[in-house]
Amino acid sequence: MKSLVLIGGGHAHMITLSKLDTFISKGYQVTVIQPADYHYYSGMGPGMLGGTYEPDDIRFATKILVESKGGRFVKAHASRIDPEKRVVHLQESDEKIKYDVLSCNAGSYVPKNIVEGDSDNVFTAKPIEELSRAKETILKKLRDGPISIAVLGGGPAAIEIAGNIHQLCKQKALHQPHIRLFSGHGLMSKVSPRVRKLLRKLLVRKGIEIIEKGYVEKVANGKITLENDTTYTADIIFPAIGVKPSTIFSRSGLDIGPEGGLKVNSFLQSTSHTPIFGGGDCIYYADQPLNKVGVYAVRQNLVLYHNLMAALEERPLEIFSPGGDYLLIYNLGDGEGVFSKWFLTFSGKMAFMIKDHIDRKFIKLFQVL
């Protein structure tokens, strides 16, 4: 009996998870490895931090879904893949999970290599569960008086975290914090000037101080040092300096991209080991390096589902096309956002309402399944 193993229940595996019974009905064994019973939708993570959403609003019950479809759910971290023996090693036990076909949606992580010393008050956006702990810590500290909060980074995660911290404190805190956004040499440098202007305007209006005096070089015990040796202090720090693919592939001797992601071809198939596939933030798409945005993982869904089944049945594989432009909406907290698609760009309440509608519709579809 052939075996399909999935590492991670992320966005690129949603269709496959919802159709696990189609594999099982054909006699294939299916195992899903994930370190938690739930998978959180990262696009709604800042909104959970800000209090717009509760944890149950933004997560999928992966374990329940897998077991209801007749699959096996293993709550563990996949630590290494042995592509020659076709087994996945687990961090928590000596069990080895055998596979004939393997698909990886192992996600990404926020590097904390610049953080030294005490990290009790340092929080990252991944894993998403950490934002719940950050929320509790912020509110607890603000009971005793004003505090300073630093968000490190000038990209989408950083601006959304900063904006939603403002919302959280405005609505639920006894005191208001001083929020600083350390955005290197430029806020949101990869977007159009129009989008950048609207984002900056919203952040400044919320009283968020934007610091563009250089990149953060080191964080140690609440002290932030920039590359020009300027220093600041903060009571709570959020590194949001980009994400890196899971390190499992570099540990496993597979072909990887420049940042360590699983290198895949146009079939979303490992360039070095054909029984292995992948999608989402953890891959490096060799034909055209992709931005780490959820839209690509969603677009990969149907192709991954088709190709995993085709690989088990030894049929031809389907080519993945990344597609063209995609919609970008940033959640800046307080029910406000910035919308950008093609030549249409605007900010305000309507932008957030559109994002909220799209996100809730997406997550409810798979929560029902």
Of the residues 219, 242, 265, the one at which a domain ends = 242
In a shared domain, residues 248 and 100: yes
pLDDT tens digits for range 16-43: 999 999 999 999 999 999 999 999 999 9
Question: CA-based angle 258:264:268, to the nearest 5?
Answer: 145
pLDDT attached to residue 31: 98
Q: Measure Cα distances from 237 to 85, 123, 146, 229 in Å.
A: 43, 6, 15, 18
Q: Residue 109's pLDDT is what?
A: 85
Phi, psi of 287 (to 5 degrees): -70, -30
Q: Is 242 helix (H, G, I), strand (E, B) or coil?
A: coil
Tell me, yes or no, whether 238 and 282 share the same domain: no
User: In terms of domains, do 159 and 223 share one?
Assistant: yes
* pTM of the shown model: 0.94
- 357 occurs within a structural domain: no
Q: Check whether residue 8 and residue 103 sit in a common domain.
A: yes
Residue 166 lies in a domain: yes
Cα(161)–Cα(154) distance, rounded to whole angstroms? 11
Amino acid 201: pLDDT: 97
Domain count, the chain: 2
Same domain for 235 and 134: yes
Domain CATH code at residue 65: 3.50.50.60
pLDDT tens digits along 274-287: 999 999 999 999 99
Q: Which residues of the chain have pLDDT under 50?
A: none
In terms of residue numbers, what domain contains 271? 3-109+243-313
Shared domain for 270 and 291, answered yes or no, is yes
State which of 264, 279, 313 marks the end of a domain: 313
Residue 337 within any structural domain of the chain: no
Same domain for 102 and 152, yes or no, is: no
Residue 97 lies in a domain: yes
- Please, what sign has the CA dihedral across residues 16, 21, 24, 29? positive
Domain for residue 264, yes or no?
A: yes
Shared domain for 236 and 262, answered yes or no, is no
- d(CA 145, CA 143) in angstroms, rounded, equals 6
In a 3-state reduction of DSSP, which class is residue 73? strand
One domain, residues 283 and 223: no
In this structure, the answer to whether residues 236 and 251 fall within a common structural domain is no
The answer to the question of residue 350 being in a domain is no
What 3-state DSSP class applies to 350? helix
DSSP 115-178: EES--TTB--SSSTHHHHHHHHHHHHHHTSS--EEEEE-SSHHHHHHHHHHHHHHHHH-SS--E
pLDDT at residue 369, as a whole number: 60
The answer to whether position 322 is within a domain reads no
Helix (H) or strand (E) holding 368: helix 349-368
338 lies in some domain: no
Closest CA to 317 of 254, 261, 265: 265
Q: Which of 199, 214, 242 is the last residue of a domain?
A: 242
Does 93 share its domain with 175?
A: no
Q: Are residues 156 and 238 in the same domain?
A: yes
Hey, what are 367's tokens?
């929560």
